Amino acid sequence: MRTAAFVILLVFASLGPVWVKAQPGDAQIVSAIRQEGFERSQAMETVSWLSDVFGPRVTGTPSIEAAKDWAAERMRRWGLRVYEERFPYGRGWSLERFHAHLVAPQTMPIIGYPRAWTTSTEGVVTADVVRVAISSRDDLEQYRGTLNGKIVLTQPLRRVEMLEGELVLRLDDELLADVSEAPQGTSEQKGSGGTGTRLDEYVYRFFVEEGVVAVLDRGSDVSLVGGAPLGSDLVWPTQRTDGGTIFVGTGGSRAVDAGTVVPSATIAVEHYNRLVRLLDLDVPVRVEVNIQTRFHEETRPNGFNLIAELPGTDLADEVVILGAHFDSTHAATGATDNAVGVAAMMEAVRILQTLDVQPRRTIRVALWGGEEEGLLGSRAYVLRHFGDANSQILKSGHETVSAYYNIDNGTGRIRGVWLQGNDAVEPIFKRWMSELTDLGVTTIGRRSTRGTDHVPFDAVGLPGFQFIQDRLEYNSRTHHSNMDVFDRVQGEDLRQMAVVTAIFAYRTAMRDERLPRKD
């Protein structure tokens, strides 16, 4: 007998066939979900496998394919129907070897990480370091004929601020009140693609022509960043932690016909600044660097979405979709972005399956590929099944979706849900959340939020929602950085995320009607 099945049997005995009609006051089932999710959670184990064993999970690489096979088998063992859908993506890319050392005037290991889709150096190379200041094409001529065989610094020194203020963001009453205010516009919540500085294409071409050995940068030009806004115009400035934390972006292209680029890496700002100061003192600087990377050609579509389903009963043709992006950026193991989201969604459906809760609607888990390059997986899925956001030509599957719920803002607990302009759903969410106040779920976000995988659903008029989360260190330390690792995951918060998601999924699946849609 499945774990805790006796609880559900008691519920069935007292209430009859619960799938026949939604039971919005069914405290016993909600209690059983809580008990299973908090006392017998498998979510942290899932995060460890995805991040420690398989991460980083860059789309189009052997690592993400292996992680996908593991997650698929895990969900099959739970009794779910699992399949995948593939989409064109381009070349995958992975790192095979990297080190960098200052070798003159003294030896010092340099903290750094190659930029995604960069090419390889010709083995271990040692070269003089120079700094360039290029802001337009007119600046190129002053460097022509001077950069051959050099390692180039592309940015000026940046002041490193002492760490003060809010580095760990938990949403207090004041911020939650701001979240609940009426919307005043729309803004990006979570950027897609790389972070940090990306040189213009003409600069890259010039460096290739001049024979530059490697390019080093220090990442973003700002020490205080808004990071991911909480929604609309509500932005929380969070100081980046520096101190060896590197926010690494993209240094090349995944396109199959991409041109050659100079090998590039982002290094710790403190180490970068030392190199700049030495050059400003006219002290010769030499660096040893080794960057070895591999491109994975697209012999079949490199992108995939992994889908798992808990079948419904009398409304099985309708679906409640729980989503999170399966891929990560390359510089760490993708624990908070977004193994925690994947683990929460997998755990939510595991809880419901373990308890033998039989939802009226099918509950579908969708784990997306290619999110980091622009929501590629979720966009492909919505276009294939539900409609075209540009033409607004909809498909028959559009009528089957009751709701889409997304997690993609780090390891912090859920505090509520963004309405995304869907005012009609507010009283429904408030009723469900009234049972979750002890878990800190209290807030209706009246602003729209952007930049992650609920957006393609919203763009074709489907009820697509992102949960509001405590940001913790997401903006300041882990988002697209080399510190996005398992140790930054908060287990109790993750268990709460899974429990809340399971309850929302259950409530949505058991309603007589689909959730209302925006006009």
Hey, where are the domains in the chain?
A: 5-90+299-510, 92-296
What is the C-alpha to C-alpha distance for residues 400 and 394, in angstroms, rounded to an integer? 12
Beta bridge partners of 449: 187
pLDDT in tens for each of the 519 residues of the chain? 444 444 444 444 444 344 334 444 478 899 999 999 999 999 999 999 999 999 899 999 999 999 999 999 999 999 999 999 999 999 999 999 999 999 999 999 999 999 999 999 999 999 999 999 998 889 999 999 999 999 999 999 998 877 766 677 777 777 777 777 765 544 444 443 434 445 678 898 999 999 999 999 998 754 433 334 455 445 555 566 788 889 998 999 999 888 889 999 999 999 999 999 999 999 999 999 999 999 999 999 999 999 999 999 999 999 999 999 999 999 999 999 999 999 999 999 999 999 999 999 999 999 999 999 999 999 999 999 999 999 999 999 999 999 999 999 999 999 999 999 999 999 999 999 999 999 999 999 988 888 899 999 999 999 999 999 998 888 888 999 999 999 999 999 999 999 999 999 999 999 999 999 997
Assign domain 5-90+299-510 to a CATH class. Answer: alpha beta
User: At 306, which helix (H) or strand (E)?
Assistant: strand 303-310
What is the C-alpha to C-alpha distance for residues 234 and 240, in angstroms, rounded to an integer? 19
Q: At 430, list the tokens.
A: 């408030």
CATH number of 92-296: 3.50.30.30
Strand, helix or coil for residue 126: strand
- pLDDT of 199 reads 63
What is the C-alpha to C-alpha distance for residues 480 and 501, in angstroms, rounded to an integer? 25
CA contacts within 13 A on the Cβ side of 2: 17
User: At 39, which helix (H) or strand (E)?
Assistant: helix 27-39
CA-based torsion, 84, 90, 91, 94: positive or negative: negative
Residue type, 507: R
Domains 5-90+299-510 and 92-296 share a fold: no
